[in-house]
Structure 1
């Protein structure tokens, strides 16, 4: 049996856990956990670094039927912890897991906020961009940091992309002498040196408390419906992506939590808002000042966070982080150039809506030249419309080309590991 004990957030070991530790022949844990524990003098110790060598030592020790293996971990070792790796290697039946208080729970307790509506992201040994995008899209996020993806790195990204967020950095949780809970701006966090292993709470202070009692923990569920009616958005002179087109565009974009989506030529921001409702971080690029205000108003009306960028594509795109997916609406003479820039930078897909047949070949060429596999459809739709005499006719909408380009799966996987 491998006994996994959660510790390190202030609560003392129980008598039962102390007995297990006293009987151990092998103790595995981070250096700080081993230093804080009273270990048997004759027990072998393994300091956790790379995980595979430690698992090999455990495997060798377990070959002795009398061996007693204890693994010391932080908080709840089943929450982004070592339990997953141990269960995969030795089987769940071989584990006796005794969780402590999760570090995220302790961090939120220190600042007096509930965390049932928080999104928790691990950046420990993972790509920081996912944590950044979740922080941008959600009002309450906890990030488990690690070397190279600590509070300073997270703050540096958010200082430019979500400067209005508040960061609460919790270090040495449970240590009566060294615990620190510090509230600051992303820029302030970026200017400091930190213990890489911290919990960072990212808050939109305006929405730190959800208004209603929750039933399901974590981020709010995905939208109950999408491709919303045009009447649910403020727009000018019907300059809005129609819901039939929006429905297929959303299906091809596949917005999800952790993604970053561009909406180029956003107009009312209807596509941007719908992507944000799925949990993605979104930047909506619009060249008119009144359009930018409409985007902000529509985002606020639907309770989502969309970054409205005032300027013309492709010029302003150099200031944005690379997107996972891009939607491009409208179609001026510079459309192929815009598509080309977007297609080179998109990690997964680009979707283009346009009305002019003449520009279809150039758009397809731009997608293909960037290495995307292009496809498309011409959408015709007719809506039910009333006529005098309590009868109904079909009112045809203008046909729209929807073209898209997907990056091949091998390229997407390679990009995700960089």
Structure 2
């Protein structure tokens, strides 16, 4: 049996831990945990650093099957929450674990603020790429980020400062330590300018305008479920002279974009921002690019009306795209005119997963397709023609045809998607 004790945030070991330690043949934990525990003389101990060698030694003790083979693991907070329990269960089986959890740093940090956290998204950047945490912070109003070396408050703040400066970062350090605990509210820019050391427990990223009012009683924890409806009717968006992606086109575009929490989507030539807003409703972080000032204001108004965050950048593509620092996971291109081939080329060079292009002019399809295939995408497309029910006098109905639109999409083969294991 492997007994795992969560010390809680700054809390001493529970009483039953002393008896377990007295009978242990091996004790595993971080240096601070081992120093704080009363270990019997002569007991073998492992200071956790690299996980794989520690697990190898644990396996040797487990195989002995004697009293001296008893293993005790000391961990912070709740070891089943982004903790060592996952690695132990995968290696030895959950049935061989006796887990005694403490209070997680996430629960403690929200408690310090007096906020509930059943509606928060928790994302780990410890030993992981920071970009997922950044995109979640952009798209969700209440996020807890578990940090690590190279993915701390400074790096998170630097990534958010240019794209989401309205967020407030709450940096919680040394939680539970009566002498050194700090809970500080800073802007992303202020976080980026500080050296936070190694005592950071967790960083909360909050959108004040969307977290002041408590959400109603919830049934399911975590981020809100995906939208009950999508491909919304054009009447649900402010637009100019019907310059908006029709819902039939938007439905297939969304299916090919595949927006989801933790990803970044660009909407180029966004117009009213209908595609941008719908992607944000699915949980993606979204940047909408539109060249006209009134168009940008319209996108902001539509995003606010639907309760989502969309970053709006005014400028003409493809030139303005060089100002966008973060590469997108997927791109929708709904405008571009004669610059369309150049826009597709730039987007295909930066998109990690997919590019979707909507075109009314059929003669622009070959150049757009060549740009996608030239960038290594698998390409496909369809001409969409639909007829909607329309009333006629006398209580009868006719079919009213909409303008045909060609939808082209390119998908990067999985073997070429950065970070996807093969």
Matches within 5 A, 1:7-156: 7-65=7-65, 66=67, 67-156=69-158
Partner of 1:219: 223
> Matched residue of 1:367: which SS?
helix
Matches within 5 A, 1:12-411: 12-65=12-65, 66=67, 67-196=69-198, 197-208=200-211, 209-320=213-324, 321-411=326-416
Task: Tell me by how many angstroms 1:330 deviates.
Answer: 2.5
Task: Tell me by how many angstroms 1:115 deviates.
Answer: 0.6
- CA contact under 8 A between 1:331 and 1:356: conserved in structure 2? no
List per-residue Cα deviations over 1:178-232 (Å, max 9, x = no partner). Answer: 1111110111111111234530000001112443221111111110110000011
- CA contact under 8 A between 2:276 and 2:310: conserved in structure 1? yes
> Matched residue of 2:162: which SS?
helix
Task: Tell me by how many angstroms 1:22 deviates.
Answer: 2.6
Cα separation, 2, equivalents of 1:294 and 1:368: 34
Cα separation, 2, equivalents of 1:93 and 1:159: 46
Task: Tell me by how many angstroms 1:7 deviates.
Answer: 1.1
Cα separation, 2, equivalents of 1:299 and 1:41: 63
Task: Tell me by how many angstroms 1:415 deviates.
Answer: 4.1
Aligned length: 416
4+ runs of 1 displaced by more than 4 Å? none
Query: Please, which runs of 5 or more residues in structure 2 have no aligned partner?
Result: none
Cα separation, 1, equivalents of 2:287 and 2:18: 52
List per-residue Cα deviations over 1:299-325 (Å, max 9, x = no partner). Answer: 001000000111111111112110000
> Matched residue of 1:227: which SS?
coil
Cα separation, 2, equivalents of 1:359 and 1:165: 41
List per-residue Cα deviations over 1:152-200 (Å, max 9, x = no partner). Answer: 1111111111111100001111111111111101111111112345300
- CA contact under 8 A between 1:331 and 1:354: conserved in structure 2? no
Could you tell me the TM-score, scaled by structure 2's length? 0.97
> Matched residue of 2:338: which SS?
coil
Cα separation, 1, equivalents of 2:35 and 2:186: 31
Cα separation, 1, equivalents of 2:43 and 2:156: 39
- CA contact under 8 A between 2:141 and 2:206: conserved in structure 1? yes
Task: Tell me by how many angstroms 1:416 deviates.
Answer: 4.7
Cα separation, 1, equivalents of 2:17 and 2:259: 45
- CA contact under 8 A between 2:3 and 2:71: conserved in structure 1? yes
Task: Tell me by how many angstroms 1:248 deviates.
Answer: 0.2
- CA contact under 8 A between 2:13 and 2:37: conserved in structure 1? no
Cα separation, 2, equivalents of 1:41 and 1:194: 36
Cα separation, 1, equivalents of 2:419 and 2:96: 37
Moved more, 226-235 or 200-209: 200-209
Aligned-CA RMSD value: 1.1
> Matched residue of 1:168: which SS?
strand
Task: Tell me by how many angstroms 1:68 deviates.
Answer: 1.4
Moved more, 171-180 or 279-288: 171-180
